[in-house]
Amino acid sequence: MNRTIKDPTVTRFHHDDHDQLRIHLADFMAADNFARRLKTLGGLTSCDDICKIWISEPDRFIHKPIHQMPGPNI
């Protein structure tokens, strides 16, 4: 994933300042997550795959903060 991000952003473009790089990275990540179709996901985008799983298995997206609290397991 590092090369996937680095090649089209840092290597191919010159950024005048850190803010310009930050904006370019945000735009690239949005395009990658919402527009790039992946063979491993059956031609779906990353966002489409997450939405599909959310509909079919909503329990996977329920956050249980008790698991992240220190102390004995209850």
- How high is the pLDDT of residue 9? 79
Structural domain span for residue 48: 38-74
- Cα 61–chain centre separation: 15
Helix axes 18-35 and 46-56, enclosed angle (nearest 10): 50
Q: Please give the chain's pLDDT, 74 residues, in tens.
A: 677 777 777 788 888 899 998 998 898 888 888 888 889 889 999 889 999 999 999 888 887 766 667 766 55
What span, in angstroms and rounded, lies between the C-alpha atoms of 25 and 44? 22
Q: Are residues 53 and 73 in the same domain?
A: yes
Q: Are residues 11 and 30 in the same domain?
A: yes
Number of domains in the chain: 2
- Listed in sequence order, the DSSP H helices in the chain are 2-6, 18-35, 46-56
What span, in angstroms and rounded, lies between the C-alpha atoms of 3 and 8? 9
The whole-model pTM stands at 0.57
Dihedral sign, CA of 42, 45, 48, 54?
positive
Q: Are residues 42 and 70 in the same domain?
A: yes
